[in-house]
Chain A
Amino acid sequence: MKMIHSLFLINCSGDIFLEKHWKSVVSQSVCDYFFEAQEKAVDVENVPPVISTPHHYLISIYRDKIFFVSVIQTEVPPLFVIEFLHRVADTFQDYFGECSETAIKDNVVIVYELLEEMLDNGFPLATESNILKELIKPPTILRSVVNSITGSSNVGDTLPTGQLSNIPWRRAGVKYTNNEAYFDVIEEIDAIIDKSGSTVFAEIQGVIDSCIKLSGMPDLSLSFMNPRLLDDVSFHPCIRFKRWESERVLSFIPPDGNFRLISYRVSSQNLVAIPVYVKHLISFKENSSSGRFDVTIGPKQNMGKTVEGVVMTVHMPKAVLNMNLTATQGSYTFDPVTKVLTWDVGKITPQKLPNLKGIVNLQSGAPKPEENPSLNIQFKIQQLAISGLKVNRLDMYGEKYKPFKGVKYITKAGKFQVRT
């Protein structure tokens, strides 16, 4: 399996701003096939991830307005490459705070060093961020100042211990003065609500993101009050699968820093409480170039918590020219080019339900749009895991100190769509 031959980073305007080859050089012209496909696809989202060219295969991902295009010569599982490219993007994100063209251009040397470490001869070598950070120190302002004065490097000169131990995700000799372990239980509600307001499909997807700053080699075990809620779980490699299988306890030696501990799905048998409802009336009149738009959002089954950060986005039909609306709360924008209506509502108070209402101007002469647009809703509820999942306790073994522990719950809208 010869894996990734070359990698090109391409921005939205079609400039190749970085290339890296792991074997002999592949000419940039191979990207023309990609541009061709991009043109055909119209929308960036619709560029096929796998493109076959006469001599190569191009596998690409689109992340943060950058195309990562890899060149493959032989059979390889496409997901392998896709997953790896995402890992590369994640690493950039982790190192530079953002994965943008400017960040990459500013840190091109580090990027190059990273890519060199992550792939050897096109086969992934070190992808754990804990290890990479030992090999190549992430840039900080302080360090760059120090480096320029002392001439020291930001390349580590010892072998990361993780590579050799049985715990490849954790570096040795971690020391903190404040030992802390935080867990964020984040749940997202994916739902499709139909015209009449009934739920076509709803599901809760959750993740537990952890930020662990503990000295030494702590061995943690995290237990839930109601682990049976978790229907399908995927784990960070640090978790001992057997313990979970037998006792439903998450037992692990954590990586240092931020990482995603598990992601889970709550079994679909459980009814999902939908925290908001939407009343809508969108209509386009026949033969007149206008239509009505009236949307109200209200809270429902929110377990006594406030729904905040409510944002509604609507992709209006192409025929819509402009919209004249008034919002009782928050502000709205309509982009006449992309036809996207965004209404930033903020917090919902049950006393006064936010409403957005007004006239839609249509292109004159165009036939009335067939379909009403669907409404995409975002919201956030603090201090609540909508599935009812609760962390029971966190125990630490292997180290003597007493860590500070914290759990935060948050519920968000995932792919939450209301059909109208």
Chain B
Amino acid sequence: MLDSNKDSLKLEAMKRIVAMIARGKNASDLFPAVVKNVACKNIEVKKLVYVYLVRYAEEQQDLALLSISTFQRGLKDPNQLIRASALRVLSSIRVPIIVPIMMLAIKEAASDMSPYVRKTAAHAIPKLYSLDSDQKDQLIEVIEKLLADKTTLVAGSVVMAFEEVCPERIDLIHKNYRKLCNLLIDVEEWGQVVIINMLTRYARTQFLSPNQNESLLEESAEKAFYGSEEEDTKDAKAEAASLAKRKPYVMDPDHRLLLRNTKPLLQSRNAAVVMAVAQLYFHLAPKAEVGVIAKALVRLLRSHSEVQYVVLQNVATMSIKRRGMFEPYLKSFYIRSTDPTQIKILKLEVLTNLANETNISTILREFQTYIRSMDKDFVAATIQAIGRCATNIGKVRDTCLNGLVQLLSNRDELVVAESVVVIKKLLQMQPAQHSEIIKHMAKLTDNIQVPMARASILWLIGEYCEHVPKIAPDVLRKMAKSFTNEEDIVKLQVINLAAKLYLTNSKQSKLLTQYVLNLAKYDQNYDIRDRARFIRQLIVPTEKSGALNKYAKKLFLAQKPAPILESSFKDRDHFQLGSLSHLLNAKAVGYQELPDWPDEAPDPSVRNVEVPEWTKCTSREKRKEKVEKPFYSDSEGESGPTESADSEPESDSEESGSSSSSGTSSSSSEEEEEEDEEEEEEGSGEQSEDKEGEEEEEKRKKRKEKGGPRKASPGSMGSEEEEEAEGKKVKKAAGPQGKKGHAESSSEEASASESSSSGSDSGTEAPTVVEAKRRKMIPSSKAGPKEISLLDLDDFTPPPPQPVPSSSIISTSLVTDLEGLTLSDTSLAPALLSPAFGAVRTYELLHRMAGEGLSVEYCFSRRPFPGDPHMVAVQIQISNNTDAEVKSLRVSEPKLLAGMRIQEFPEIESLAPGDTASMVMGIDFCDSTQAANFQLCTHTRHFYVSIQPPVGELMAPVFMSENEFRKEQGKLTGMSEITEKLTLPEKCRSDHAIVQQVTSAANVGRVPCGSDNEYRFAAKTVTSGSLVLITLERREGAAAQLTINSEKMVIGTMLVKDIIQALAQ
């Protein structure tokens, strides 16, 4: 058929041949007939011929050469597909004679126009290398060339070739490092795995360990990273100088680049990619950042059981070193009865590794269920696990021991045996208290047959024969009787027991010992004979063996250290995680040891790229563009470097702006103040005006308090908000200015602790001056540059750094100040300009009648609850109207809906008659208007009370620009948009009134707006942080339209009602 002219017949013939090959049958005798068809026009026949050739060429080298010319022709074909496949087959024919031809072909293909052909060339490199390793040098040249390739298609393949041919030539990577990092996300999945593994190794040789100096880690890492390229080195030096005494660690920006660019890959659907990133983070990332991989790894546990198996092995290793990482996912490792045994045992291992004082009781409860499993291997493993928990956590040792003792009466012998072995290990830790258990176990020798268990019992009795003096000889007697039928390990322990008894209680056991030793002397096993002779010499006194004899007791009854039960996965992490070697816990062929961190970082400049072709990549913006080019087209430029590059000048100007303003503002005129504000954030000036009008005396105190913590907030805020925060600060500075706040200015002063004296009576200007000073100080102080760069951080920042020092000072000093202020005369207290708001409503919690003279009121103070940003702060005012002292006032027994939390105020020791106390408590309402019920207790009575928040109090204002507002609004359309028409009453048509009403109804912040008849407000819900955007549009006359955009529809709907109601009043 192969000789036929018809393609269809040829095809049929080839199909049969391929089917033969597939089944493993030998089809080599058809070689001559097949090879003729290599030039066949039909592409399918051709393909099958290729399949055949690749399979048999090695065996029939001479004949195979016939086909070579066809491929050579194919290499010149205009169709890239044919060029590629010709190269593929040519390189797959393992015939040494054609090595030079292959070499030539690869070189040519490496500079082919088509990236697909270049990729094939990269694939061909390892093939040629395995055929003839002498070609290495030439191949390295080709690799070097291909490494410089810019296409994602080639990157994975060439790194694979690199790993195979010359993994030691790390120097080839330098120039391409940044490019590889940036291309990574667009490389195909398999290439990603190879590249990530290679980069892990690379990073280990080129960067310093991020964990060597943990305290400084975060700030410096960010610092080093977010500067622009040239500044980096400068900054690094400057910082190095300034921090010299503290031994700085500066994460190389390239190190950070790698970590950042690999992180999104944790979201890959490919388990191998996720694992590769996980191991990269485990080996390279600073401790604080490793946690991110846990979630992804846990996700893989839903995958195929083979994947689970491998992942669990790796999790087991990781969980020993970084237990905290997986603790939140403890329950994901719970075992189902349908899991395969090998998975069960691995999960058990992880659970045991995760056990600690706090979760041990839950884990033990789980273990209890497992013990009753039908799968006996698994039960045995569980018992071992209990043993390990017991040794590691002293608290539960007795509980575990008791549990295990109960298992001794289990019907299943395997279970009993395993328990015995584990109990033995546990008892070794504190034998004295447990002679009862030992006695109990002695009884078991009659029934239990498993050799390991018998041996363990005997050893125990021997070791602690002094605790059970009566039973021990009896046991020996029984064992002597059955000696000949025992397993070897049991026999050895019998001899041991005999020897020990002989030494402690020779009167009763002398004969028995002799008897056992005699039996052992003629045993079949030479170990036993040997042991018997040795022991006889040692313990039975004769003339010759006098010297050692004296010490026999010491030898046998020495204190033995308790065994340490530890995981078999300990120390496995010296293998690279995710590797085959790690899984097998043995070095696999071709395993590349993960190098240790260097002590001194090699010169980072080697990675700088000077070649003109690449210069565009050195600038970070450009590189980022490149990364995103294919399809990640972001208009807003999210990526770190760009943003930092853009915002650098901005922040500079801002800074200079504010410092110059400080110069002018020291002359203290309000208008100027206003101007400054407008520079910083449009429209906030209006707000402060609004405020001025509506001051109400009794509210001031609260307001001030509100303002206080706000000011502290920038420090704790996520860094992306820092810029906004900055705006706020300035505004705040402006507020008190307007209010001429005496007390306030002093608190403001305290915040910027240096400028103490300047302000207190020059009220008006003090805050601004202080603020200005603060800004001015920045460049001069050491911490200065750091803070500036922090302000420009983008959302790539790892967990926000510890609060900027200055702000923490503010917060603490403010708190103390405020504490003083609450009791002071409040008439002078100004309102801080915080996000615009109207009157604060007070609600009654407990009426004085119902409370038997105790009356309680609460209001929503609208400031962040210190300590927990998800809680709504509730200000509670308790007045004692009785004529007796009320003692130990406290909150108890909160009855909350699921998810709601309450942070009680500290107990009030006593409240004198007529006195009033004001407390703050935090409630997390979970963004719902459900009431929080709890009891208010005094020393005599309990009052059931409940706090139900108006929907407007479940949010906190956010600052955004008009554009941001529009953008966010665009995202929250459809179902999340609620629109309502309304008519504004007469008195509520001025800007001022509208703003006041809206802000009194809800805790929202005003958003600047270009048009006159539109008002915008924005807030975030306190618990989930979902945006709530409010737009009020005035039409002709009294008509208006209210639009609320929020993901939380319920909140949106309720808010609409509330606001309309407020406006209608």
Contact = CB atoms under 8 A, between A and B. Distances in A.
A18 interface: yes
Interface string B296-330: 10110010111101110000000000000000000
Nearest to B627: A242
Contacts of B971: 223, 247, 249
A376 interface: yes
A52 B295 contact: no
B591 A75 contact: yes
Given A48-B342, A415-B338, A17 B591 contact: no
A371 B370 CA distance: 10
Interface stretch (A228-236, A291-299, A326-334, A341-349): A228-236
A148 interface: yes
Contacts of A373: 337, 374
B411 A148 contact: no
B272 A201 contact: no
A127 B189 CA distance: 9
Most B CB contacts (10 A, CB to CB) among A83, A125, A247 go to A83
Which of A28, A48, A116 has the largest count of B CB atoms less than 10 A from its CB? A116
Interface in A219-246: 223, 225-226, 228, 231-237, 240-243, 245-246
Contacts of A317: 374
Interface residues of A, number: 111
A109 B48 contact: yes
Interface in B340-387: 340-342, 366, 369, 372-374
Contact of B304 (A82, A112, A260, A419): A82
Contacts of B372: 370-371
Contacts of B299: 232, 234, 263, 265
B189 A237 contact: yes
A192 B55 CA distance: 51
A334 B88 CA distance: 55
B interface secondary structure, majority: helix
A33 interface: no
Nearest to A376: B338
Contact of B586 (A52, A82, A225, A390): A52
A124 B273 CA distance: 14
A1 B115 contact: no
B560 interface: no
Interface range for B? 35 or more
B583 A50 contact: yes
B186 A166 contact: yes
Contacts of A269: 899
Given A75-B592, A83-B272, A241 B193 contact: no
Contacts of B1047: 225-226, 228
A201 B24 CA distance: 49
B631 A392 contact: no
A1 B296 contact: no
A83 B24 contact: no
Nearest to B79: A159
Given A123-B190, A253-B631, A82 B80 contact: no
Interface string B184-204: 011011100110010000000
Interface string A12-25: 00001111110111
B580 A76 contact: yes
Contacts of B19: 108-109
A2 B81 CA distance: 25
A165 to B, nearest CB: 9
A205 interface: yes
B584 A50 contact: yes
B307 A83 contact: yes
A373 B94 CA distance: 57
Interface string A100-133: 0000000011011100100011011101000000
A74 B590 contact: yes
Contacts of B471: none
A417 interface: yes
Contacts of B1049: 225
Nearest to A160: B81
B898 A271 contact: yes
Interface of A: 1-2, 16-21, 23-25, 28, 43, 45-46, 48-50, 52, 57, 60-63, 72-80, 82-84, 86, 108-109, 111-113, 116, 120-121, 123-125, 127, 148, 151, 153-155, 157-159, 163-164, 166-168, 190, 192, 194, 200-201, 203, 205, 223, 225-226, 228, 231-237, 240-243, 245-247, 249, 253, 260, 263, 265, 268-269, 271, 315, 317-318, 367, 369-371, 373-374, 376, 390, 392-393, 415, 417, 419
17 contacts: A1-B160, A1-B197, A2-B164, A19-B23, A50-B583, A75-B590, A78-B579, A79-B307, A86-B307, A121-B91, A151-B7, A153-B43, A154-B44, A164-B153, A235-B269, A245-B638, A268-B331
Given A24-B58, A370-B374, A392-B975, 15 more contacts: A1-B160, A19-B22, A43-B340, A48-B342, A74-B589, A112-B18, A155-B44, A159-B81, A200-B366, A225-B1047, A234-B269, A241-B185, A263-B269, A370-B410, A419-B337
Task: Kindly list the 6 A-B residue pairs having the minimum CB-CB distance in the complex, ordered from nearest.
Answer: A74-B590, A153-B44, A166-B630, A45-B340, A371-B372, A159-B81
